[in-house]
Amino acid sequence: MVAESSVSRLAILDLLRILLGSNHMNNENILIVEDEKIIALDLQRRLERFGYSVVGMASDGAEAIALARERSPDIILMDIMLAGPMDGIEAAKQIRALLGIPVIFLTAYTDEKTLERAKEVEPFGYILKPFKERELYTTIDIALYKNSIDKKLRKQERLFSAMLHSINDGIIATDTQMAVGFMNKVAEDITGWSEAAAKGRHAAAILAIQDPRIQRELLEATPPNVDEKPFFFNETIIKNAIGQTLLVDGSITRIHETENEADGFLITLRDITEIKRMSATIDYQASHDSLTGLCNREEFSFMLNEILASLRSSSSSHALLVIDIDRFKVINDTCGTMAGDELLRQVASHVQANISRKDISARIGGDEFAIILRDCDPEDSINVAKRLKAAVESRKFSWQSSVFPVTLSIGIVALSQQSEDTHAVLASADDACHLSKEEGGNRVNVFQAKDSKYQKRRGDMEWISKINKAIEENRFILYQQAIVPLSDSIELRPKAEILLRLVNEDGSISRPGDFIPAAERYHLMPLIDQWVIRNSIAAYKTLTDRGSELASRIISINLSGPSLLDESLVELILHEVRRSALKPSSFCFEITETAAIQNFAAATRFMKRLKDEGFTFALDDFGSGFSSFAYLKILPVDYLKIDGSFVQTIDESMVSYTMVDSINSIGHVMGIKTIAEFVKSPEIKQKLIEIGVDYAQGYHLAEPVPLL
């Protein structure tokens, strides 16, 4: 019967375990604190039979604390009435404070005072002596479960606390009456209140949020429109407890306890004061020139576009001015960039002083400014331009010990309903400004579309587009014109000058006189020179491989003045010649006298570098300048091409004959061979032979023909 009773009891206990959802099959550790040995052993037997592990037994409070530290049990069964100076309540209090281990009190009887003391420890249960197994196991299971839930809650609390205190937003939690219950550190910083000081106060007492839409304080009464979804406020100004005025974004959200009831409100705050300040700074920097404080080109173009759009439906008239500082480069190069910057600031100051508040001013380039004069007719715009020009001219620019006169070139274009797009009106004003500069500077030009000088300039602009496209599409053609020796001397190796043609999109061919002036004006000659060099060397390689008679000639290639300043061009020439395995002596570079003199130092370095490699040089249009002979002693040239204006009248004018004779004589004295251009008749050729000129070139001898 005893065995059957034991089996039945164990079966009942297993069933109880299942019904209670017990999880102590994980072999939880229990510490027993009981001063009566028999009771302690009985408890141990019962607990171990049910699957618990008893990690120790203590008979007094001090021993209980020591074992709890050492064994770290999952739960402690603590007798309230322990022998010795420390009872179970005091021991439980210390264990709870030090180790956080849950305690179940064991007691046979307890007075009210002792029970009140026991409550302060927050035990996880009470078990009355004598023990009933069902009560014992149930109480332990519930205590273990409650402790695990408490641990999870505490972990979540720590997680949520860390989250709330680490986010950049201020968080304020209130009850339904808007009394503050929680504030994180960011909210403290924004409001100027500490959480301790704010707790219990109405939210409106620590935070004034003005709703600009309804012109009232948001927190004075129940927040509006937060029943279903959060109420958001943006860029709202608040003044905090320490007198700071801040700009904040935020929201007010109702905390729902049940479906239809609220447990309070959650207020979030984000301080955007610094962000807005930085954003405003970035916006300003993105739209203004940092040196002068005027608008930059992008912002100016945007505002100009807006004004042009408004003119489509308006009869208003405005004016656009483009301004360039004359000889700015001289000051910048002579005194340095600091002086140049100061001059730009001074001119910007004059610009602002001579226009009204409604007008728009900008720095649109290195030393270029632009102004939009609103509601201004053409005559008034000219007066404004002249007043500005006079103001700048009246104050000379001083830098250290140097004083410079400063003048402006100004171009004006009227803005009306008929105006084209932003690009077109800026181009028109720019045309007018550049014409002022080309006419000597210190003047005002008003753009007139039908004026021939503007039409010519527009024609140049069209050529720029054609030239760029021709380079991209490889639509240039190389021609050559023979340069013929005028004697049978074996020292005179025949030559041929490379000439350029541009194939238009319709298949027609343009001569150099059509497009070279525009290319020179708009600085495209270096690109053209590079194309000619690459393709001339490649063509000469092809002629050499074919065994052509042209391959026995020296090929003359023209170089523009700007190319002489390009140090990388020397490397390009050397690379192309070496790659083609050709002799440098087969190539001669022609440089105009004007280009050589204007870029004298650069030209000299350029020529010496290539002459050291075996190339030769010809000075083109010689005699057209005034300092020809002085520079000739220094420039390392091999050929003089006598200016055609003298050659073509040599048979008619004794002055021309004498000039050609003089140039030829000086050239020969200096060991330089001479070439006469524009030989258009046998009479001219005969005169050149009489003088002793070495070479002749012109239509009488050979017309230009394709190189390949």
* Domains within the chain, CATH numbers bracketed: 2-158 (3.40.50.2300), 168-277 (3.30.450.20), 290-449 (3.30.70.270), 467-706 (3.20.20.450)
pLDDT over 50 (residue 451): yes
User: Which of residues 100 and 12 earns the better pLDDT score?
Assistant: 100
Encoded amino acid at 392, one letter = V
Kind of pairing between the strands at 587-592 and 554-559: parallel
pLDDT over 50 (residue 704): yes
pLDDT over 50 (residue 25): no
Segment among 96-105, 650-659, 680-689 with least mean pLDDT: 96-105
Residues contacting residue 83 through CB under 8 Å, at least 6 positions apart: 35, 59, 60
CA dist., res. 273 & res. 576, Å (int): 62
497 within 8 A of 590, measured Cβ to Cβ: yes
Structure token pair of residue 76 = 């402690």
> What Cα–Cα distance (Å) separates residue 583 from each residue in 540, 569, 578, 605?
11, 18, 8, 21
pLDDT of residue 260: 58
pLDDT over 90 (residue 424): no
Q: 392: closest CA among 367, 414, 360?
A: 367
pLDDT of residue 435: 86
Residues contacting residue 14 through CB under 8 Å, at least 6 positions apart: none
Cis preceding-peptide flag for 212 (omega within 30 of 0): no
705 within 8 A of 480, measured Cβ to Cβ: yes
Q: 591: closest CA among 629, 639, 558?
A: 558
Convert 639-665 into a string of H (helix), E (strand) and C (coil): EEEECHHHHCCCCCCHHHHHHHHHHHH
- Model confidence over 545-566: pLDDT tens digits? 999 999 999 999 999 888 888 8
Q: Which long-range contacts (CB under 8 A, 24 or more apart) does 699-705 make?
A: 701/482, 701/484, 702/481, 702/482, 702/484, 703/481, 704/479, 704/480, 704/481, 704/499, 705/479, 705/480, 705/481
Centroid of chain to Cα 563: 33
When pLDDT is cut at 50, 70 and 90, the band that residue 259 belongs to is low
When pLDDT is cut at 50, 70 and 90, the band that residue 109 belongs to is low
What percentage of residues in the chain have a pLDDT greater than 70?
90
pLDDT over 90 (residue 341): yes
For the chain, give the number of residues: 708
Average pLDDT over residues 15-31: 57
pLDDT of residue 226: 65
Residues contacting residue 465 through CB under 8 Å, at least 6 positions apart: none
pLDDT over 80 (residue 401): yes
pLDDT of residue 624: 66
Rg (CA), the chain: 50
Residues contacting residue 626 through CB under 8 Å, at least 6 positions apart: none
Q: What is the dihedral of CA 171, 175, 176, 177, to 10 degrees?
A: -100
What does pLDDT average to over the chain?
85
Residues contacting residue 320 through CB under 8 Å, at least 6 positions apart: 304, 370, 371, 372, 373, 412, 413, 414, 415, 425, 426, 429
pLDDT of residue 227: 65
When pLDDT is cut at 50, 70 and 90, the band that residue 5 belongs to is very low
β-partners of residue 370 are 322, 362
Average pLDDT over residues 454-471: 77
pLDDT of residue 528: 93
Structure token pair of residue 306 = 């807006």
pLDDT of residue 7: 40
pTM: 0.48
Q: 600: closest CA among 548, 637, 568?
A: 637
Q: 683: closest CA among 659, 661, 700, 663?
A: 700
CA dist., res. 445 & res. 428, Å (int): 11
- Model confidence over 132-152: pLDDT tens digits? 777 888 888 888 888 888 878
Average pLDDT over residues 161-176: 79
Residue 146 is classified by DSSP as H
- Model confidence over 113-139: pLDDT tens digits? 777 888 888 888 888 778 777 788 888
Structure token pair of residue 211 = 């709703």
What three-state secondary structure class fits 370?
A: strand
Q: What is the dihedral of CA 441, 447, 448, 451, to 10 degrees?
A: 30
User: Which of residues 344 and 36 earns the better pLDDT score?
Assistant: 344
Average pLDDT over residues 209-238: 70
When pLDDT is cut at 50, 70 and 90, the band that residue 458 belongs to is low
- Model confidence over 282-335: pLDDT tens digits? 777 888 888 999 999 889 999 999 999 998 888 888 999 999 999 898 888 888
Residue 607 is classified by DSSP as H
β-partners of residue 479 are 499, 706
pLDDT over 70 (residue 533): yes
> What Cα–Cα distance (Å) separates residue 200 from each residue in 173, 196, 694?
11, 9, 110
- Model confidence over 596-637: pLDDT tens digits? 777 788 888 899 999 999 999 999 888 765 455 667 778 889
Segment among 20-24, 371-375, 649-653 with least mean pLDDT: 20-24
Q: Provide the strand spans (E) within 22-120.
A: 29-33, 53-58, 75-79, 103-107
What three-state secondary structure class fits 490?
A: coil
Residue 221 is classified by DSSP as S
394 within 8 A of 413, measured Cβ to Cβ: no
pLDDT of residue 211: 64
Greatest mean pLDDT among 177-181, 346-350, 419-423, 522-526: 346-350
Task: Note the helical H segments in 249-336.
Answer: 273-287, 297-311, 328-335
